[in-house]
Amino acid sequence: MKNITLSIDEDVLKAGREYARIHKISFNVLVRKLIEQTVLPKRDKWLEDTFTLMDKVEASSENKKWTREELYRV
């Protein structure tokens, strides 16, 4: 892993360190994760994948219509 040097406003640095402290991570990890989330493709596209799988399933409700009460019955 490469080291880099950043110039950052003192107030932003202070707020970033406080945020990292509250979330129990280092400021370095916070910056690294923010950069990763910004520049790398989304790896957790689970919702999109779920809908794709649902579209592929060959299932049928046999034209059954459910009422709200049936759907929310516990």
The range of the structural domain enclosing residue 56 comes to 10-72
Q: How many domains does the chain have?
A: 1
pLDDT range class, residue 74, cuts 50, 70, 90: low
12-38 residues labelled b (16+ CB within 10 A) or e (exposed): eeeebeeebeeeeeeeeebeeeeeeee
**65 part of a folded domain:** yes
**2 part of a folded domain:** no
pTM of the predicted model over 0.75:
no
What pLDDT, in 10s, does the model give residues 24-72?
A: 999 999 999 999 888 887 767 788 888 888 888 888 778 888 888 888 8
**1 part of a folded domain:** no
**31 part of a folded domain:** yes
**64 part of a folded domain:** yes
